[in-house]
Structure 1
Amino acid sequence: MVGTRATSPEGRRSTEGLGADLHLDHLDLRGRHGLRTSLMDALREAVRTGRLLPGAQLPSSRTLAADLSIARNTVADAYAELVAEGWLTARQGSGTRVARRAEPRRAPTPGSDRVALRRPTPIRTSDTRFSLLPGNPDLASFPRAQWLAASRRAIMAAPHEALGYGDPRGRVELRTALADYLARARGVYASPERIVICAGFVHGLRLIGRVLRARGVSTVAVETYGVPQYNDLLTETGLETPALPLDEGGTCTEGLRSLDTGAVLLTPAHQYPTGGALRPDRRAAVVDWARSTGGLVLEDDYDGEFRYDRQPVGALQGLDPERVCYFGTASKSLAPGLRLGWLVLPRSVTPEVIAAKGHVDWAPGSFDQLALAEFLTSGDYDRHVRAMRLRYRRRRDQLVAAVAEHAPGIRVSGIAAGLHAVLDLPPGTERSVIAAGARVGLALDGLGDFAHPSARPDSGRDGLVVGYATPSDSAWSGALAALCSVLPRS
């Protein structure tokens, strides 16, 4: 335990929130995860357990750094990231404080003004030579040799009972490895008992949809832009999917107060597909909504490992593990064909999801689960992600440079993270650019392909969602040249 005595910038003891020692129970200054990560974990735990109350003022970065004998920048970076995640707030002149939570209140029952519109039909041709469709990593870069070695080690060490039906939650080896990795890399509060292994995001969402319907929930709010198949899946489950507005600060979670909904599906760390991170006050607002109404937040953390120009934004789940269902997969970090995903669930939801999954539900095989567990614990997973992060960042930079050279009037956005970028197009040109791409053998998706059916045509943006991770290294230059050849020049 490390005790720090908070003072004012002038060195005098403050009378508001800074008079008591700030005890950081889990701060390991020699920890293998680094000083900043260790400090952030300790502060999260202090807030989560209630030792740091909402509104409590924290020591200045200078004071805390001096008390811990660490660099001031380390403390400042930790504070800044926790502000971005919604744990803390910072205002000029008032210092850094623990974020406040709204008072519980009931959401009013709204009317419905949804307008059903048909989504654009994707343009595909049989002679496609290049693909810049989002949603896939570079499959040619799958670490086959390392995966084979991990599989061999896992199979040789597997107990005989691994060949049986086993625990419907999945292999304990994988759940244990994931609990450690997610806490370290994504700030997720996880334990093996609260993790359920599933066959990708769709499988996990189907399970949660069953649970919500069994609970009597009829509506799940979604984002204005998202994966259409996910909305369709919820609809097939019998759930309505009203859309929340979206702006530069991310999804307008304040709108949940006007909806009679039991859950909300979000991509808070990297909105799909527009690319922004959910603003800190909106992260806090969605947690407040869930606490005050008993609702659930369904967090899709689909590409959390890939951040380039900013510090990683931790998972929303860390703010309230009892109100957030966390979804993760190996689809972007490794390959979607592995069919390996996971849910980190609130305690109250875990038994219901296990019951919905059952003992005979389709799920990844034991050996694949054991292989991923070995891949994680051996460090191969971290090494692969670091290598791919560098590779994807180079591609992103090449994409931005090529667009600036060949079509300088086009803005490229959503590039601080992830495996895709958004190219804003002149109004009314989206479908024609996609059609031009098809004529030169290039597969493209437009923003309109991801718009919610209720979105009004005049409220949308024309643009391309360019998956720069998708092509292999040998196809990348050709795909980029084909893209530049069809972009409007002015």
Structure 2
Amino acid sequence: MLPVRLDRARAEPLPAQLAAAVRALVTDGTLGTGDRLPSSRALATDLGVSRAVVEQAYDQLLAEAWVSTRRGAGTFVASGETLPTQPSTHRPASREPQYTQLDAGTPWIDPRHLAGWRRAWREVSMARPPRGYPDPSGLPELREALAERLARTRGLTVAPDEILLTAGSTDALRQLLGALGPGNVLVEDPGYRAAVESIRMSGRVVVDHPALAPVTDLTGCAAAYVTPAHQHPLGRVMPAADRLALLAAARAAGTVVVEDDYDSEFRYDVAPVPALAALDRSQVAYVGTASKSVSPSLRLGWLVAPPEVHERLLRRRAITHDTPPWTSQRALLTLLRDGWVDKVVRTARRVYADRAPRVAAALEPHAALAGPLAGMYSTWHTSAAAARTARTSARAAGFDVRLLADYCRSAQLTGLVLGFGGVTDAELDRALEAIVSGLRGR
């Protein structure tokens, strides 16, 4: 239902009022590019008007290019490139331009699956919330579903009571660091920027370690943060020998290895690589997230920590109630039980498997691929000047692409980190055309 009110006492015809209201919802950001509008029948019922009123309003908006239609799918807010310009009297002229993000973390969610998402939240609205504060470990039924999923998809056998629900992977890292003794934290370089910032905010020193080099010494480190299944952002799978060396170093130094398993389900060249935690549960804290398979906005993740650390975390959470919202947990439970997550992952994997080679075909004449094609992004080595020119060209076309240098601290690597999950096929084609144009300009 749209937040629209029509006034029959006004001289302005109802179709014109409705068209103006939809325009306002688009310009103020309530409706975004690609959002689906209600069907004419549904909106007419909601507003208490004839269907002809809605159809006339939609026809007017279509003629003005505010909306677009897709056969058999409905009416959608048009893309930013085709929306008509309209002067604004309430926004400052200096506002930063808004780009479509080609980032490494936004997943592809097929619009055909949105009905399942809405159904899950309807169930939340009808479910009875817990009395008082929720379980400090997280919703028991959700932990049971996650334990089954981890065993099935990651080869990680855990009991539901060994899982702690978190508000995403950085929240898991923050809580984990709070339960460890003093010491530095080793982080791959280049590496996940949000993790680095979270570690620094905890008051600990970040120790840079070359991302593709084995870890053999963890002296002085309370934790080592790694992304072994798909190194972020270079894309390499950590070799078996390096995994064993890392675990040996962790045992020798008494260090907890934090395994961020952020997108392991999206391999399309080989089967997903088993979790590092499956090799040594006593030394590895396993961190997973729903951001890549469901939605970043859900803000849900899970943590399987070594037993002693788990107990410290649980005692602290029983006092602080530092758990994610019950509503989000309940929604994810429904999405898992209904098979929605499996369906979305399978669909996204097929989309990424199609898009990754298209990206490679466009960029390979001008850049060098950093790692195997997997997941929802790929990383490309170029000169610093070429990377900056490509980003400038992308922004001129309405897109923003990340520079590899932004993920580096000590490392001297340059290039592009190009995400292809959070865009449509048409948007990806336009973005690639702009990026390649920039790379050719050098």
Rounded Cα–Cα distance in structure 1 between residues aligned with 2:185 and 2:408 = 16
- Note the C-alpha offset of 1:226: 1.1
**Residues 1:283 and 1:361: Cα distance change in structure 2 (over 3 Å):** same
Classify the secondary structure of the residue corresponding to 1:434: helix
Shift of 1:180: 0.7
Q: Which runs of 4+ in 1 moved over 6 A?
A: none
Are 1:351 and 2:308 matched, yes or no?
Answer: no
- CA distance in structure 2 between the partners assigned to 1:232 and 1:161 by the alignment: 34
Shift of 1:325: 0.6
Shift of 1:473: 4.0
In the alignment, which of 374, 389, 394 is matched to residue 437 of structure 1?
A: 394
Please list the CA deviations of residues 17-49 of structure 1 after superposition, one character each: whole Å capped at 9, or x if unmatched: xxxxxxxxxxxxxxxxxxxxxxxxxxxxxxxxx
1:126 corresponding residue in structure 2: 96
Aligned counterpart, 2:159: 191
Q: What code does the residue aligned with 1:222 have?
A: V
| Residues 1:370 and 2:323 are matched in the alignment | no
**1:37-63 Cα deviation digits (max 9, x unpaired):** xxxxxxxxxxxxxxxxxxxxxxxxxxx
Query: What aligned pairs does 1:321-340 form with structure 2 within 5 A after superposition?
Result: 321-340=281-300
Amino acid corresponding to residue 294 of structure 2 in structure 1: L
Q: Distance in 2 between matches of 1:336 and 1:142?
A: 19
Partners of 1:425 and 1:141 lie apart in 2 by 35
Q: How does 1:15-34 map to 2 (within 5 A)?
A: none
**Is 1:246 aligned to 2:211, yes or no?**
yes
Question: Aligned with 2:165: secondary structure?
Answer: strand
How many residue pairs match? The answer is 349
Alpha carbons 1:396, 1:415 under 8 Å: kept: no
* Residue 227 (1) aligns with residue 184 (2): no
Question: Is the Cα–Cα contact under 8 Å of residues 140 and 472 in structure 1 kept in the other structure?
Answer: no
Equivalent runs, 1:285-296 vs 2, <5 Å: 285-296=245-256
Aligned-partner SS, 1:325? strand
Extract unaligned runs of 5+ from structure 1: 1-124
5+ long unaligned stretches in structure 2: 1-94
Report whether the alignment pairs 1:306 with 2:266: yes
Q: What does residue 57 of structure 1 align with?
A: none
- 2:117 aligned to 130, 135, 147, which one? 147
TM superposition shift of 1:349: 0.8
Match of 1:178 among 146, 159, 162: 146
Aligned 8 A contact 1:447 1:464 in 2: yes
Please, what TM-score do these two structures have when normalized by structure 2? 0.74
AA at the equivalent of 1:290: A
**Which gives a bigger RCO, structure 1 or 2 (Cα 8 Å, sep 6+)?**
1
Cα separation, 2, equivalents of 1:399 and 1:418:
13
Matches within 5 A, 1:439-478: 439-452=396-409, 455=410, 459-478=411-430
Distance 1:362 1:350 in 2: 14
The letter of the residue matching 2:117 is W
Q: Partners of 2:424 and 2:132 in 1: how far apart?
A: 38
Give the distance between the partners of 2:275 and 2:400, measured in 1 at CA: 32
SS of alignment partner, residue 274 of structure 2: coil
The RMSD of aligned alpha carbons is: 2.3
1:362 CA drift (Å): 4.9
Distance 1:163 1:366, change over 3 A: farther
State whether structure 2 residue 368 is matched by structure 1 residue 416: no
Alignment of 1:101-116 (within 5 A): none
1:243-278: CA deviations, max 9, x gaps?
11233xxx4212x25x42121000000000000000
Identity of aligned residues (%): 34
Per-residue CA deviation, residues 257-303 of structure 1 (Å, 9 max, x unaligned), is 5x421210000000000000001001111112222332100000000
Moved more, 346-355 or 145-154: 145-154
Counterpart residue identity of residue 385, structure 1 = V
Q: Is the 8 A contact 2:397 2:431 kept in 1?
A: no
